[in-house]
Amino acid sequence: MNRLTAWLGVVLVVFSTVLARTRVDEGNRRGILHLGNGTELESLDPHLTTGVPEFQVISGLLEGLVREDNATLEPRPGAADRWEANEAGTVYTFFLREDARWSNGDPVTAHDFVFSLRRMLSPELGAEYAYMLYVIRNGRAFNEGRLENEEDLGVRAVDDYTLEITLENPTPYFVNMLNHHSFYPVHASTLRAHGGERDRSNRWARPGNYVGNGPFTLEEWSLQERIILRKSETYWNREDVMLNGMVFYPIEDAQTEERMFRSGLLHKTSTIPLSRIPRYKREASGVLYSHPYLTTYYYLINTKRKPFDDVRVRQALALSIQRELITEKILQAGEKPATWFTPPGTGGFTPSQSLEEDIAKAQNLLAEAGYPGGEGFPEFTLMYNTSEAHRTIAQVVQQMWNQNLGIRCQLANREWQVYMLDRRTLDFDVARAGWAGDYADPHNFLDLHLSTSGNNHTGWSDPAYDDLIAQASASTNQEKRFALYDQAEAILLRDMPLIPVYWYTRNYLLDPSVKGWHPNILDRHDYTEIYLEPSK
């Protein structure tokens, strides 16, 4: 290597280092927050998305009737500046802000919410989260095409700025649900301009078309590169929004994301490589955040495929997983073995029964199903979405099933969009899944497995289970509700359409310049309260 080549090499290294350090520094100077977001998004239509990465972006573009306190998650005014309920808890009246505006300048009205809630429940749209709105009177009937007149849905505009929502039954957690994107409003005339109001292929949710009512607007969406949001000029509370913009990066590889953080390219990562957690803990650098997260990591089982239609096979798979080995030796960040589905203490609820590792019992069950020692058991596929952690856990579980049961499975990595499509169409044998709480109540976890749930990707259903959840939904007595949920959890453990693996701890890296960021169990953050300080 000659001197000129060596000198150029040094210059390039120094130049690239300077560039790498300037993104966060420049972001702090300009008020632009740079966030790793895990994966490319399916959509920015709030009525069609189901994933956490999508919500992280949509919650900056749209605003529901309520927002959440960053620290406590208590509901606080959003598009509605106040609300009240009747004595029975079945009718809620929301008084909308008369100064709220869409990003095109139109006023945000009660009619927008009526239009949006009807769209979300419409059979034509086929929204996976439609069942969330079954708490509304005639919501299920409307979604199933059994309501002749949509005016009979329990949603009406009393006037331009007064919205009335009537529920099927008193629902203690109703207001907490309202910051979920399934309840967010969409701009009717924009949808009409870019396709059918209830057409899933409508292109309204693209840059240049998007009209929102949130604190930020959509400036750019470059696939597999970045999504740029800018501070809205029409948001009712724009004077108090301290960020001027946000940039979300779809980085699926945790190693790459962590290197970008260390190089000053990101204020926050979506996760952290498992192998790096012990080092960050030892260094006590102040950038590692690790806190409880209301989420269950589990495996879906396609109960429509043989041999997984046999409950003994499903139970054998579940009983032969050594969960403590996974949490203590692989994850090492405070995760807990999941011995039932709903995270313990959710809204004060903890089931009475649990799933314990029992390899001998698992082997006996597999033999009873006709596969002694795994003999004759067909090779199957374990599918997961792109992630170092998902791959590592899948490899460990693959080995456990082989060693403990004598069965073999192949691992199949899928990009996010393909992974979600395969899940919805039941084009898998066993698939990795995770359910993050939308609100802190056991109902949010257990209604996932209803036969009517668009997020039930197992092919399993049980009328007794559906009835228990319906009874719990109709009850205002917490002791009775929890007893019904306990029976529902027992049915899940009996039939095992899914395999709980562990309860999450949320792990990510956050630059000290980010202020107003409060860890909470739902890992949700109100961007209107976040600001940046210059790097030290």
Per-residue pLDDT of 68-77, as tens digits, reads: 988 888 999 9
CA dihedral angle for residue 96, residue 100, residue 102, residue 105, rounded to 10 degrees: 130
The angle, 0 to 180 degrees and rounded to 10, between the axes of the packed helices 478-495 and 463-474 is: 160
Over residues 241-267, the mean pLDDT reads 96
The tokens describing 243, both together, are 């960020």
pLDDT band at 16 (very low <50, low <70, confident <90, very high): very low
Measure the CA–CA gap between 115 and 113, rounded to whole angstroms.
5
Cβ distance 389 to 253 under 8 Å? no
pLDDT over 70 at 7, yes or no = no
pLDDT in tens, 401-453: 999 999 999 999 999 989 999 999 999 999 999 999 988 899 999 999 999 89
pLDDT over 50 at 332, yes or no = yes
Measure the CA–CA gap between 12 and 85, rounded to whole angstroms.
64
pLDDT over 50 at 43, yes or no = yes
Strand segments, DSSP code E, in 86-190 are: 91-96, 155-159, 162-166
pLDDT band at 274 (very low <50, low <70, confident <90, very high): confident
Mean pLDDT for the chain? 93
Name the percent of the chain lying above pLDDT 90.
84
pLDDT in tens, 99-122: 999 999 999 999 999 999 999 999
Measure the CA–CA gap between 68 and 524, rounded to whole angstroms.
8
For residue 307, cis peptide bond before it (omega within 30 degrees of 0): yes
pLDDT band at 13 (very low <50, low <70, confident <90, very high): very low
What is the reported pLDDT for 285? Answer: 77
Measure the CA–CA gap between 209 and 112, rounded to whole angstroms.
17
Sequence-distant (6+) residues with CB within 8 A of 88 are 170
pLDDT over 50 at 12, yes or no = no
The tokens describing 317, both together, are 């798979």
In what helix (H) or strand (E) does residue 397 lie, and over which residues does it extend? helix 388-405
Taken in order of first residue, the domains within the chain and their CATH numbers are 3-43+205-289+507-532 (3.40.190.10), 62-193 (3.90.76.10), 293-506 (3.10.105.10)
pLDDT in tens, 347-381: 899 999 999 999 999 999 999 999 999 999 999 99
Over residues 183-190, the mean pLDDT reads 98
Which range has the worst mean pLDDT, 16-25, 193-202, 502-511? 16-25
Q: What is the reported pTM?
A: 0.85
What is the reported pLDDT for 19? Answer: 47
